[in-house]
Amino acid sequence: MALAVVVFLALIALVLFLIGRISGRRGDRAVALGFVGPTLLLVAVGLVYPALRTILQSFQQADGSGFVGLDNYQFIFTNSDQLTVLRNTALWVVVTPFVATGIGLVYAVLIDRARVEAFAKALIFLPMAISFVGASIIWKFVYEFRPEQGNIQQIGLLNQVLVWLGFSPQQFLVNAPWNTLFLIAVMIWVQAGFAMTVLSAAIKAIPDDIIEAARLDGVSGVGLFRHITVPSIRPALVVVLTTIGIATLKVFDIVRTMTGGQFDTNVVANEFYTQAFRADQGGIGAALAVVLFALVVPIVAYNIRQLRASEAR
Amino acid sequence: MGSRTNRPAALAAGVLGLSLVLTACGSDNGGDDTASGGSGGGSGADCSAYEQYTQDFPGIDGKTVSVYTSIVTPEDQPHLDSYAAFEECTGVDVQYEGDKAFEAQVLVRAKAGNAPDIAYVPQPGLLQQLVATGAAVPAPEQTAANVDEFFGEDWKGYGSVDGQFYAAPLGANVKSFVWYSPSEFEDSGYEVPTTLDELKSLTDQMVADGKVPWCAGIASGEATGWPVTDWMEDMMLRLNGPEVYDQWVNHEIPFNGPESTAALDAVGEYLKNPEYVNGGYGDVTTIATTTFQDGGLPIIDGACSLHRQAGFYAANWPEGTEVAEDGDVFAFYLPGQTAEDRPVLGGGEFVLAFDDRPEVQAFQTFLSSDTWANEKAIATPQGGWVSANSGLEVDNLVSPIDQLSAEILQDPNAVFRFDGSDQMPGAVGADAFWKQATNWITGQSTQETVDKIEAAWPAS
């Protein structure tokens, strides 16, 4: 291992040294190639090749011995459990980015230039520092269920609140489809801080004279928010929405840690792992990966177009 | 211009320097693990029992064998200790690697050409998948001879693929146990049941006494549901006999046929009966969210009386709990239809090799010997380990439950069958069966459950 690292670094050093020896106009090109070349090579080996192989594998049998046409895709789009997986993924993607961004936006506006702004920001930003697995474990305790019998005490916060209010404790993670929403809450809890940070910076970048002019025209409160703030930070909003959207499509850790995909909470990324590695259904796993890839591409494309558009302005 | 040409050169120097630092940090950390052993009677051991390995496999001194397994801390230490004498007497260095993600990773490693020398495979189904990758090698004749001598035909069969013998059994466990509190049985005048009917009437007796007799928990992370599969396999074996059980496991009869449907319904009579479960935890659905480790614990508080779980559950009782026939908790054999038939459901690991170097074969042969089985028993002072090796002296086992397990495994009247879900293809045994069993606990009907598992069976 250590030897491999040394050889790799020595190779890079050699390449850089050789590039350094070339000068003049040809040197510029060589330097560019020297820096971009290895990256392109790594992208080809680490991204393009596996992607092509995965696509190929998605048309093959589990052990890769023969082609089965579209059977794997047909399975994903007809099997009732797989349809639940797709339904859940759709629910995640529809709910998470908008709610997380919405909370982040409202929060950013409310605390903007407030006296406790720094503290309030830190408060909502803290969950960002926690890994999804850590966040899931925390929330598992929040949702923890103890039966209503004898002298058994609730240890889950949410159920204790229910008991205080006179309701009976619930098994939050068991009853579909609500359990998916309780999982989504974890993602929102983590991502709202990210949305708030980016949007808060964007809000601060709105030139004061625009707001001043709007105020002179008699716009204030909600009107100012709707007609000035939101349009002004639209590019930032798009970036936040799409970033959280992509992260949501890939969600894996939360589902795996909290329910393991049981009780109808499975999503594509987790099902892909299960099929590919535990069930030894490589073909179906690859097909699920391709589906996930196909879902992410439009969001990424839209994101890039918006970035270009905002830069061109 | 000068500065431009110099920058890459400076970078190059920097990278070189960094690489030097990295080398210093990443200095080889192999070896030396063997020194941590020792309590297994290693130091100054009598090497006469190990001479055969240096004779049969010459030139193994100083060689290394890598072992990859799902057995992690703290259960790995007895394993390490049990190799100490072998390592000392033969000069072979055993590199042990325990990984909780073993089941998924070992296939990846075998397919990628990065297989370990030896893997401890806990499922015959996974063993077949590994052999199918073409990376595994058959066991040497010395190992086969040991297995013929010390293990039953059935165990050899589980380690074989298409008639070719690959892997010798390592550890074993007995799953057909019901945990209970001996003192509660004595105080209430309950008797250990010897037939399924007696088990049923005992349960009803407990309900009449105002108790919730059974407790259960099947949550186990991504493997949630597996305890239900054990229940069902036990019932399959009892209601339909070993031949039908084998047909069921090998998919010669459908999963949604009348036999398995009846078996799952028989489990449902216990696990889905609100009067019978879930003592100490709540209603039937709480079985799905109670971890299997917590499953039986209410027995200690007297909140429930019976918990069906394997012998290895002994490790889950809180510290200070006495596991013995006259102690705080103990287990009885889950009875058959009559007192005479004694079907036993169990599990175990198998030693699969991916290389046929002499030192690998020597270690493989050692693990299949009675020497190792007894060495391992002595190196496990906490208990919780059994082997089906007939050369294992029962007295070397410390825990009463291990002794009981070993007696059941060596009982000539017992009909042993390996855990069914572990033999089924991964798509069923490690996915659909678990998942649908969990859905069944939370309300799905028996028919829908068996139909969905049948549908998940791979076509080939």
Residue ranges of domains in chain A: 1-58, 79-312
Cβ contact (<8 Å) for B426 and A278? yes
Question: Residue A64 above 90 pLDDT?
Answer: no
pLDDT level of residue A168 (50, 70, 90 thresholds) = confident
A5/B23 touch (CB, cutoff 8 Å), yes or no: yes
Q: Which residues contact B97 (CB under 8 A, 6 or more apart)?
A: B66, B67, B68, B69, B116
Quote the pTM value: 0.81
Residue B21 has pLDDT above 50, yes or no: no
pLDDT at B40: 42
At A34 the pLDDT is: 78
pLDDT tens digits for range B338-371: 988 889 999 999 999 999 999 999 999 999 999 9
**What residues in B contact A61, CB-CB < 8 Å?**
460
Residue matched to tokens 């990859």: B68
Query: CA A265 → CA A89, A90, A188, B123, distances in Å?
Result: 9, 12, 16, 27
Six token digits for residue B293: 């480790």
pLDDT interval class at A308 (50, 70, 90): confident
Task: Return all residues near B232 (Cβ < 8 A) that are at least 6 apart.
Answer: B260, B263, B264, B267, B437
Judged by average pLDDT, the poorest of A49-53, B30-34, B148-152, B315-319 is: B30-34
A130, A189 Cβ separation under 8 angstroms: no
| More confident call, B334 vs A28 | B334
**Cα atoms in the Cβ-side hemisphere of radius 13 Å centred on B77:** 10
Segment (H or E) for B287: helix B286-289
Q: What is the pLDDT of residue B41?
A: 43
Digit-coded pLDDT (tens) for A73-87: 999 999 888 999 999
Of B289, B312, B416, nearest to B71 by C-alpha is: B312
Confidence of residue B45 (pLDDT cuts 50, 70, 90): low
Is A147–B458 a contact, with Cβ atoms under 8 angstroms apart? no
* Mean model confidence pLDDT for chain A: 88
* Top-tier CATH class for B177-345+419-455: alpha beta
Where does residue B54 fall: left (phi above 0), alpha (psi -120 to 50 degrees), or beta otherwise?
A: alpha
The token duo for B278 is: 């879930």
Nearest one of A237, A252, A125, A134 to A191, comparing CA atoms: A125
Residue A148 Cα distances to A160, B214, B217, B421, angstroms = 11, 18, 17, 34
pLDDT above 70 (res B424)? yes
pLDDT above 90: percentage of residues in chain B: 66
- Amino acid, single-letter form, for residue A107: Y
Mean pLDDT of B120-144: 93
Q: What is the DSSP string of B357-390?
A: -HHHHHHHHHHTSHHHHHHHHHT-TT---B---T
Q: Across the A/B interface, how many CB contacts are shorter than 8 Å?
A: 124
Q: Which residues of B167-195 are buried (b: 16+ CB within 10 A; e: fewer)?
A: bbbbbbbbbbbbbbbbebbeeeebebbeb
* A261/B222 Cβ within 8 A: yes
Architecture label for domain A79-312: Orthogonal Bundle (1.10)
> What is the mean pLDDT of the segment spanning B116-130?
93
* In the predicted structure, residue B19 carries a pLDDT above the cut 50: no
Mean pLDDT of chain B: 87
Q: Is the pLDDT of residue A135 over 90?
A: yes
Model confidence at B93, pLDDT cuts 50, 70, 90, reads very high
Mean pLDDT across B201-217: 95
- Measure the CA–CA gap between A215 and A225, rounded to whole angstroms: 12
What count of residues does chain A have?
Answer: 313
Of A2, A23, A173, the CB nearest to B27: A2
Which residues neighbour A260 within 8 Å (Cβ) at sequence distance 6 or greater?
B221, B222, B223, B224
Between chains, do A277 and B6 touch, taking CB under 8 Å as contact? no
From CA B458, how far away is CA B460, in angstroms rounded? 6
d(CA B98, CA A218): 70
Give Dmax (Cα) for chain B. 98
CA distance B300 to B215: 11
Residue B287: closest CA among B273, B305, B301:
B273
> B27 or A258: which carries more pLDDT confidence?
A258
- The alpha-carbon gap from A105 to the nearest alpha carbon of chain B, in Å, equals 36
B22 — pLDDT class (breaks 50, 70, 90): very low
**Minimum mean pLDDT among A28-32, A254-258, B42-46, B292-296: which range?**
B42-46
Average pLDDT (A53-74) is 89
* Diameter of chain A measured on Cα atoms: 85
Q: Identify the burial level of B5 via C-beta atoms within 10 angstroms of its C-beta, where 0-12 means exposed, 13-18 middle and 19 or more buried.
A: middle
Residue B10 above 80 pLDDT?
no
- Residue B382 is encoded by which pair of tokens? 């906490």
Asked if the model's pLDDT at residue A115 lies above 50, the reply is yes
Task: Tell me which residue has tokens 């007895």.
Answer: B78
pLDDT value at residue A149: 67
Question: The domain B51-174+346-414 is classified under which CATH number: 3.50.30.10, 3.40.190.10, 3.40.50.1820, 3.20.20.70?
Answer: 3.40.190.10
Q: Which is nearest to B305 in space by CA: B408, B197, B210?
A: B210
Closest Cα in chain B, distance from residue A231 (Å): 44
Question: How far is A277 from chain B, CA to nearest CA, in Å?
Answer: 5
A93 band by pLDDT with thresholds 50, 70 and 90: very high
pLDDT at B118: 96
Domain span(s) for CATH 3.40.190.10 in chain B: 51-174+346-414, 177-345+419-455
* Nearest-CA distance B359 → chain A (Å): 24
Contact criterion met (CB below 8 Å) for B116 and B86:
no
Helix or strand or coil: residue B416?
strand
Q: Which of B1, B4, B5, B278 to mutate to test the interface with A (most CBs of A within 10 A)?
A: B5
